[in-house]
Amino acid sequence: MKKKVSVIGAGNVGATTAQLVVQSGIADAVLFDVVEGMPQGKALDMAEACPLWNSSSTIKGTNTYSDTSGSDIIVITAGLARKPGMSRSDLLHANANIVKGVCREIAKTSPNAIVIVVTNPMDVMAQLAWKTTEFSCKRVIGMGGILDASRLAAFLSWELDVSPEDIEALVLGGHGDDMVPLPRFTTVKGIPLPELLPKKRIEFLIERTRTGGAEIVSFLKSGSAFYAPAASTFQMIKSILLDEKRMLPCAAYLNGEYGIKEIYMGVPVILGEEGVKKIVELKLTKEEKAQFKKSCESVRKLIKNLGI
């Protein structure tokens, strides 16, 4: 039997993630949303593309949690985008209510699933999902660092005129304005970035990475990025389902690693069939440590604001 991936929230990121799963053929998918008809319509459309994709995966769109039961992976993309007049804090509470509701349901219907949290503010929502499901922290993981690193890799490939295939970028910290891109650990075929570009240029590309999400929002006007976020989520799904043991920057629960306790933070982890197999600890410089700590404080503030 094929593995089962359920995507909660059939909007831009959710539907595109489901598409990547079904198109790859590595699992069957269920697309869930509270909007009636929308997940059914998108799922039917994808199912009708399967013959063209040579995929034997199935996909079902639904408004009923029982259809997601027994999932191997649950991806949470359900949430609201910020509307005019809405503060970040309003969004925090609105999305927290949605994620909490989703987690209560999936904990009952898919008690053995690995949960990938995408909804923003992602690090905080990952913490909330872990608390609400009461799953082992190895089985609740946030998606953010892969996307940030992919953005940096794309900018570097244009800057250096080299294939993105040969670029390994690494970004730590929370998935927010104070993420911590690491030039020392960003390499082109093994050559560290500081040997390839002047400091000023690296700083410019790092700043573009930090504001990468906003750059896309400013073009789209309504809605935010979804192709690269879905591709990032799919990389996690694949590493888990195929037990690839990829080392990927994800939000994981830190309990002493990096000198940080009891919060979700973006760090390199090894992802396999049981979820987080290992948190990889890097030796950071004083400056990198300070940036990482600052990023942790921002996430901690939001967690406090939510009272979790």
CB of 267 to ligand TXD, least distance (A): 15
Q: How many residues bind ligand TXD (CB under 6 A)?
A: 31
CB of 180 to ligand TXD, least distance (A): 15
Tell me: does residue 129 bind ligand TXD (CB under 6 A): no
Q: How does 143-165 read in b/e, with b if 16+ C-beta sit within 10 Å? A: bbbbbbbbbbbbbbbeeeeeeee
Q: Looking only at residues 28 through 57 of this chain, which bind ligand TXD when binding is defined by CB under 6 A?
A: 33-35
Tokens of 277: 């197999």
Angle at Cα 30 formed by Cα 18 and Cα 245, nearest 5°?
Answer: 60
Q: Which residues contact 177 (CB under 8 A, 6 or more apart)?
A: 210, 211, 298
Q: Exactly one of 4, 139, 175, 210 is catalytic; which is it?
A: 175
CB of 189 to ligand TXD, least distance (A): 27
Catalytic annotation on 93? no
DSSP-derived secondary structure letter, 189? T
CB of 223 to ligand TXD, least distance (A): 6
Q: Which residue is nearest to ligand TXD (CB)?
A: 11
Pairing of strands 261-272, 275-279: antiparallel
Q: Looking only at residues 237 through 276 of this chain, which bind ligand TXD when binding is defined by CB under 6 A?
A: none
Tokens of 183: 């030039």
Tell me: does residue 102 bind ligand TXD (CB under 6 A): yes
Which stretch in 3-11, 64-72, 156-164, 202-210 sits in contact with ligand TXD by CB under 6 A? Answer: 3-11
Which stretch in 48-56, 114-122, 183-191, 199-207 sits in contact with ligand TXD by CB under 6 A? Answer: 114-122
Which stretch in 45-53, 94-102, 282-290, 295-303 sits in contact with ligand TXD by CB under 6 A? Answer: 94-102
**Helices 122-133, 88-109: inter-axial angle, 10-degree rounding:** 30
Q: Do the beta carbons of residue 206 and residue 183 sit within 8 Å?
A: yes
Neighbours of 178 (CB within 10 A): 15
Tell me: does residue 12 bind ligand TXD (CB under 6 A): yes
Q: Which residues contact 140 (CB under 8 A, 6 or more apart)?
A: 114, 115, 117, 126, 129, 130, 133, 253, 275
User: Where along the sequence are the contacts to ligand TXD (CB under 6 A)?
Assistant: 8-14, 33-35, 77-79, 81, 95, 98, 101-102, 118-120, 122, 143-144, 147, 175, 223-226, 229
Mind telling me the catalytic residues?
A: 175
